[in-house]
Amino acid sequence: MAETLACKDIIYAFSKDHKPVKQVKPGTTISIDTYDCFQNQITSSETGISSIDWDQINPATGPIYVETAEPGDLLKVKVQSIKFSETGVMTVGPDLGVLGPHLEKFEAKIIPIRNNKAIFNEKIELPLNPMIGVIGVAPAGEPVSCGTPGPHGGNMDTKLITEGAEIYFPVFTEGALFGLGDMHAAMGDGEVGVSGIEVSGTAVVTLDVIKGTSLNYPLLVNDEGIAFLVSAETLDEAVRVSIEEMMAFLLPKTELTMNELTMLFSAAGETQISQVVDPLVTARFFIPAHLLESLGIKWFD
Ligand code: CA
Ligand code: ZN
């Protein structure tokens, strides 16, 4: 593979004003090194909350300028592989996550990863589901911190963003200015404690441009189906918008009435929660591949 990007090239926000650290042609496969979401600052369970520089959190490696990408296009990102460090880290504490108000002290835990398992302790080993937490492009307006998700992607903490997945991002600025970071060796839907098993590592992705087609939110495609990833102030809103976006996307591609498609959404579509702990929460509406096949729907290629 020709193209690589080292994790010294990092951003803490997605911004159209950033100078790209790399320029690639559409169709390029690139290997991107990433820090973990703590920028590798937590090296033992002794690391205290006050010794962490909280300004150096959620770095994304990038941004990468993809030639020909312009506003009104889509950036197609195929996740080819995810490789990561032999240890992961988790943190919990009083101000963190859903249970934060019930927790008395900050704690960091180093979690060894061996034989495709995360070793929580002698008795508890967890299966891995490697995924990318922060991934996206520069937004239209003001810079958006890498800790916050949105229509440009960012900190979506969606466990479907894994090997084999394709994500279509709306392009808001010339070159798209793509970046990624915050990989997890494992994470459950919700990410209720605010961290997954956080790891540094390397993601290999293929970046492509789809001209003249746009979307309002990132669309994820995998072998099982497709999902819009929508972040909002509340889960109610994220759920509603993800379903509305799917309707707006699929209805023009079928002969069905909106009533009929609503029935199919209700019978076979899945409302799923990605995360409930970031500055905006993220939900997704998933339509299974078998239904798309019955409807004869292809998305962009
Ligand atoms: Ca995250
Ligand atoms: Zn993370």
The CA distance from 131 to 201, in Å, is: 11
- Cβ-contact 229, 217 below 8 angstroms: yes
The CA distance from 113 to 124, in Å, is: 12
**154 Cβ partners below 8 Å, 6+ apart?**
14, 134, 135, 136, 144, 145, 146, 147, 148, 231
- The single-letter code of the amino acid at 283 is A
Q: How far is the CA of 95 from the centre of ligand 1 (A)?
A: 16
The CA distance from 182 to 191, in Å, is: 13
| C-alpha dihedral sign at 186, 278, 55, 168 | positive
Tell me the sheet residues that pair with 297: none
Tell me the sheet residues that pair with 210: 74
Ligand nearest to the CA of 149: 1
Residue 1, pLDDT score = 60
Residue 166, pLDDT score = 98
Ligand nearest to the CA of 38: 2
pLDDT in tens, the chain (301 residues): 679 999 999 999 999 999 999 999 999 999 999 999 999 999 999 988 889 998 999 999 999 999 999 999 999 999 999 999 999 999 999 989 999 999 999 999 999 999 999 999 999 999 999 999 999 999 999 999 999 999 999 999 999 999 999 999 999 999 999 999 999 999 999 999 999 999 999 999 999 999 999 999 999 999 999 999 999 999 999 999 999 999 999 999 999 999 999 999 999 999 999 999 999 999 999 999 999 999 999 877 5
Over the range 286-301, which residues count as b (16 or more CB within 10 Å of their CB) and which as e? bbeeebbeebeeebee
Ligand nearest to the CA of 37: 2
The CA distance from 241 to 30, in Å, is: 32
Q: How far is the CA of 195 from the centre of ligand 2 (A)?
A: 5
Tell me the sheet residues that pair with 204: 31, 81
Q: How far is the CA of 147 from the centre of ligand 2 (A)?
A: 9
Q: Which domains does the chain show, CATH number per domain?
A: 219-295 (3.10.28.20)
Q: How far is the CA of 198 from the centre of ligand 2 (A)?
A: 5
Q: How far is the CA of 65 from the centre of ligand 2 (A)?
A: 24
Over the range 64-100, which residues count as b (16 or more CB within 10 Å of their CB) and which as e? bbbeebeeebbbbbbbeebebbebbbbbbbeebbeee
